[in-house]
Every structure is written in C-alpha cells, then in structure tokens.
C-alpha cells in the first residue's frame, strides 16, 4: 500500500476546512460538519473542563487528507444518551478503571451517522482497519479500557464489525413518511380515537391564541438565537442535576455566524410577535431529514411541547418533502404521536480480555431482547409501524 501517515489532533481546527470538505465531498450529516464540531470546541461546550478532550485522528497520503476519525477522551458518560452503567459496573467488579474512555460520536447529540470519514476514492475497509489498529495502540499505551463508537452509520457498521468491534443495540424514535402530502392526510394513519386526541391537542394551543411561526435563514438573528439559548437553559434548569445543560451561549451565537445557520429551523410559539416568544424549539435539517434538538418555554401550557416539538415539525417536514424526523432522545409518549421505536447501533472494543469475553457472550442476548422490546412497543402504537430486526 501507499505510504501513509496518521496524526492525533487536540482540536478539529487543526484540520483545514478545505481538506475537510474535500474529504467529505460536502455530503455529510450536519452534526459531523466541520463547522458544527468546531463550534462545539470553540464555544467550550466541548472541553477538558467539561470532561471532553478532543483527540481526533487523521490519516494522510503525503499532503492529502484521506481519512478522519472524530474522537474524544472522556472521564464520564454524560452527554452520550447511551447508558453504559452496566459496562461501568462490570469494570468495577473486575477491578478495572472504566474511565477515561475513548468516544466516537457527534458530542451531545444522539444522532445516527458516526463513521470514519474516508475519501471516496480510497478503500474504506482497508483504511478502517488501519485507523482501528492505531486507536488500539493509543488506548493500550495510555491505559484506556475501551473505545466506543456511538450511533454509527448503518452502512459503516459492517466495517467496524469486520475490525472486531462488538455491536450493542439501543432504542430511539423516528417518524417516517409513508408518502402523505398533507398533515391531515398523515393523521389518517391513526385510529379514530388517537386522531381525535391529536386534533384536540392542536386545538388547545389555538384556543390559547398561540401561533407557531417558522423561522429559517435570515429570520434567525443574534437576538432570536439568544432567546433560544435562554429558553434551552431555563428548560434544563427545571430538571436540576438531570437537566443536561451542555451547550454554552457562545455555541448558539456561533450558529448564527456559521454556514450551519442554513440548516436551522426554529419553531417559534408566540401571541403575534415572534420577537417575544412564549417557547421555541430548534431543529436541524439537511433538507432530506429533520432532527429535533432543543426546546424551552416561558409558560407552562398544556400540549405546547407536543405541538412545538412534534406536530409542527412533522407538518413542516411533509410540506418540504422530508421523509424522516428524529425527535431526539427519550420519551415513550412519542409512540402515541406518530413515532416508531427503532434500533440504533453502537460499536465497542475493550482492551481487557476478561471483560471482552464476558460482553462478547452476553451482548447478543441483550440485543435480541432489545429488538423484541422495540417490536412489542410498536405493536401497541395507534398506526402501522415497521418491524425491526438485527
């Protein structure tokens, strides 16, 4: 094979934007875009102070970037939305130090799509193996117990498994279009009782004289994004230590000045003045898929969350020909409002033979149980859901 060089990086900013865009061919999930990852680091939402140390790995053919693995060293499990307490308990029982660990994901976002970024004209399987070996050497040298790739791209999953990663299934929610052209047509998927419930929840917001405005592009300025941050911060504060407030105000401000602004959709609940919102939700789109991320409200209004974070985004997605909407982590109530339970996959490797052997034996059983649970949940939803399998 050609002569190649691998380099570790303490910041995404060490990679030139032009090299990044050449590598990704400008075809990448917004949460793995250079601007998004750089904004997380630049705003110090992701930093050693908060237990996230950027530790990215690049691979070069002379002066040409041909591969990149976004990676972070972590000393906790917050901000991952995959709950690995079982792994941590097993490590403790084996008298192993669980932290620090290596994580591959888009930080703070449970978004499917993680993969090693490989130039389109390179051998993806071969470079994946090379990067994995380099990661293994680093982990063993630095007494790191595990490397974990979360919410992996399902097309890339096979390369990770070929490189001896172990697959773990987790559950999330997803709305998928079945070809409906209007929200009213979409409601036809539900049984009569749940259709009435949804219409009642929508009507209750209208009866409160609340309208929901949709802001995109130049509608989103510094003033409105700061209000979004304040609402997000207030919402997180309500949950105390479980509030998961990770993003700084600087991150929100950076979004306005970065190209990623063109991927933002704000759903603004107000009483006639969008500059004085009652509540807002922030979604991200690549104009093929929609992701729900952050929300907050100044008033406790029944059904406002469902309207602002589910019904209006679904309606907007239908109007714009978008076929999938990931509403974010958590919430069994999503099933009754148009979302199916789906499997998401993470890949793991452990550098202790005993721990690896135990998990290699039990993970297939755990995964089968999770798939059974997903399918059982979908059997109870008031519309036709897709059956999942491994």
pLDDT digits (tens, 9 = 90+) for 11-62: 999 999 999 988 998 778 999 999 999 999 999 999 999 999 999 999 999 9
pLDDT digits (tens, 9 = 90+) for 51-82: 999 999 999 999 999 999 999 999 999 999 99
- Does 241 score more than 60 pLDDT? no
Q: How far apart are CA 318 and CA 316, in angstroms?
A: 5
- Does 242 score more than 50 pLDDT? no
Closest CA to 291 of 154, 134, 151, 182: 151
CA angle 78, 51, 366 (to 5 degrees): 35
Question: CB of 251 within 8 A of CB of 264?
Answer: no
Q: How far apart are CA 378 and CA 369, in angstroms?
A: 14
Closest CA to 355 of 59, 91, 60, 147: 91
In this prediction, what percent of the chain has a pLDDT beyond 90? 85
In order of 135, 139, 353, the CA distances from 295 in angstroms are 36, 37, 43
Mean pLDDT is lowest, of 34-38, 235-239, 310-314, 338-342, for 235-239
Q: Stretch 200-204: mean pLDDT, rounded?
A: 96
Q: Stretch 288-306: mean pLDDT, rounded?
A: 95
5-171+342-378 placed in CATH 3.60.20.10: no
CA angle 300, 306, 312 (to 5 degrees): 120
Could you tell me the pLDDT band of residue 240, with boundaries at 50, 70 and 90?
low
pLDDT digits (tens, 9 = 90+) for 93-116: 999 999 999 999 999 999 999 999
- Does 243 score more than 60 pLDDT? no
CATH number of the 178-322 domain: 3.40.630.30
Per-range mean pLDDT, top range of 249-263, 278-292, 376-390:
278-292
What pLDDT, on a 0 to 100 scale, did the predictor assign at position 282?
A: 97
Of the CA atoms within 13 Å of residue 83, those in its CB half-sphere come to: 5
In this prediction, what percent of the chain has a pLDDT beyond 70? 96
Domain ranges of the chain: 5-171+342-378, 178-322
Q: Residues with Cβ < 8 Å from 240, sequence gap 6 or more?
A: none
Question: CB of 135 within 8 A of CB of 353?
Answer: no
What pLDDT, on a 0 to 100 scale, did the predictor assign at position 380?
A: 81
Q: Stretch 5-16: mean pLDDT, rounded?
A: 97
- Does 262 score more than 50 pLDDT? yes
Could you tell me the pLDDT band of residue 1, with boundaries at 50, 70 and 90?
low
What pLDDT, on a 0 to 100 scale, did the predictor assign at position 332?
A: 72
pLDDT digits (tens, 9 = 90+) for 148-181: 999 999 999 999 999 999 999 999 999 999 999 9
Residue 266: burial class (beta carbons within 10 Å; 0-12, 13-18, 19+): buried
Quick one: angle between helices 85-93 and 353-378, nearest 10? Answer: 150
pLDDT digits (tens, 9 = 90+) for 341-377: 999 999 999 999 999 999 999 999 999 999 999 999 8
- Residue 140 token pair: 């063993």
What pLDDT, on a 0 to 100 scale, did the predictor assign at position 367?
A: 97
Whole-structure pTM over 0.85, yes or no? yes
What pLDDT, on a 0 to 100 scale, did the predictor assign at position 335?
A: 83
Closest CA to 35 of 258, 287, 246: 258
Residue written as token pair 């789109």: 285
């Amino acid at each position: 094979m050609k002569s190649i060089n691998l380099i570790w990086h303490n910041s995404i900013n060490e990679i030139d934007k032009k090299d990044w865009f050449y590598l990704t061919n400008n075809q990448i999930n917004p949460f793995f875009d250079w601007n998004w990852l750089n904004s997380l680091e630049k705003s110090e939402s992701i930093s050693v102070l908060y237990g996230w140390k950027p530790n990215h790995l690049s691979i070069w053919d002379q002066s040409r970037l041909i591969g990149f693995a976004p990676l972070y060293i972590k000393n906790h499990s917050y901000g991952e939305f995959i709950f690995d307490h079982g792994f941590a308990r097993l490590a403790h029982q084996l008298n192993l130090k669980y932290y620090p660990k290596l994580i591959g994901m888009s930080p703070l976002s449970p978004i499917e799509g993680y993969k090693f970024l490989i130039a389109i004209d390179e051998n993806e399987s071969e470079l994946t193996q090379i990067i994995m070996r380099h990661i293994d050497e680093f982990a063993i040298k630095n007494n790191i117990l595990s490397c974990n790739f979360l919410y992996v791209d399902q097309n890339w999953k096979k390369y990770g498994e070929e490189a001896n990663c172990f697959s773990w299934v987790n559950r999330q929610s997803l709305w998928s279009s079945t070809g409906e052209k209007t929200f009213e047509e979409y409601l036809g998927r539900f049984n009569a009782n749940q259709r009435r419930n949804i219409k009642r929840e929508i009507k209750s917001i209208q009866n409160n004289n609340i309208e929901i405005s949709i802001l995109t592009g130049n509608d989103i300025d510094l003033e409105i994004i700061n209000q979004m941050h304040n609402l997000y911060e207030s919402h997180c504060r309500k949950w105390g230590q479980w509030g998961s407030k990770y993003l700084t105000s600087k991150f929100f401000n950076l979004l306005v000045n970065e190209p990623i602004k063109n991927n933002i959709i704000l759903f603004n609940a107000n009483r006639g003045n969008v500059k004085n919102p009652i509540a807002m939700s922030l979604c991200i789109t690549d104009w093929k898929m929609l992701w729900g991320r952050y929300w907050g409200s100044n008033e406790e209004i029944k059904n406002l969350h469902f309207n602002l974070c589910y019904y209006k985004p679904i309606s907007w997605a239908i109007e714009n020909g978008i076929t999938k909407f990931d509403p974010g982590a958590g919430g069994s109530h999503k099933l009754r409002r148009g979302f199916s339970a789906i499997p998401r996959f993470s890949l793991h490797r452990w550098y202790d033979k005993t721990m690896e052997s135990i998990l290699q034996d039990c993970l297939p059983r755990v995964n089968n149980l999770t798939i059974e649970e997903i399918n059982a949940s979908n059997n109870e939803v008031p519309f036709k859901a897709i059956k999942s399998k491994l």
